[in-house]
Amino acid sequence: MLLVVTYSRAARTTLRNICRAHEESVVRRFGRAALLAATDHGAFLACRLRERHPDAVQVERTAPFNEFTDVPDRVREAAVAYEREATKHTPYARFATGTDHPDPDRLRDRPLDA
């Protein structure tokens, strides 16, 4: 899908109008951003917005996220373990110390494979 984020009042208004007029190509709206359908028409709308407000429209292409294929096992397992086992106020760094879970710096530095 196409994530469109606007950065000016004018661009936000254009996005609002476009979303109102083309509900069929809008998957979801969030204030000054919207997810457009991954169709030619969604792309057409994104291109129109970019053309009208070249400096105030950010467009990102998004993909569904499958944590079982897109994420290294140890990262997913660390997240699950932290959510299940850590007490409420334990920071992840402390939780990971002395375990096999990756430390937070490593998590931050390692790019996710495309």
Partner 1 sequence: MLAAVRDPHDDRVRCPRAAPVHDHVGFVAADATLNRRAAAAAIARSRGLRAPEADALAAAREKLTTIEATTTDLRPAREQAAATAGERERLRERVARLRGEVQARREAGLDAEETTERFRAAARELSEAATAEAAATEQLDRERARVRDRYDARERRLALEDEIGNLERSARASLADAVRPRIKQALSALGADSDDPPTHEWLLAAARVAVVAAPVVVTAGPFDASEAAQWLDVPVVRL
- Provide φ and ψ at 52, rounded to 5°: -80, -35
44-83 residues near partner 1, rule: CB under 8 A: 50, 54-56, 58
Residue 13 engages partner 1 in binding (rule: CB under 8 A): no
Distance between CA 97 and CA 1 in Å, rounded? 38
104: Cβ–Cβ under 8 A, 6 or more apart, which residues?
92, 93, 96
- Shortest Å distance, C-beta 91 to partner 1: 26
32-51 residues near partner 1, rule: CB under 8 A: 32, 50
Distance between CA 10 and CA 54 in Å, rounded? 12
Cβ closer to partner 1: 56 or 78? 56
- Shortest Å distance, C-beta 43 to partner 1: 14
Residue 29 engages partner 1 in binding (rule: CB under 8 A): no
Token couple for 95: 């939780």
Catalog residues that contact partner 1 under the rule CB under 8 A.
Answer: 5, 7-9, 12, 32, 50, 54-56, 58
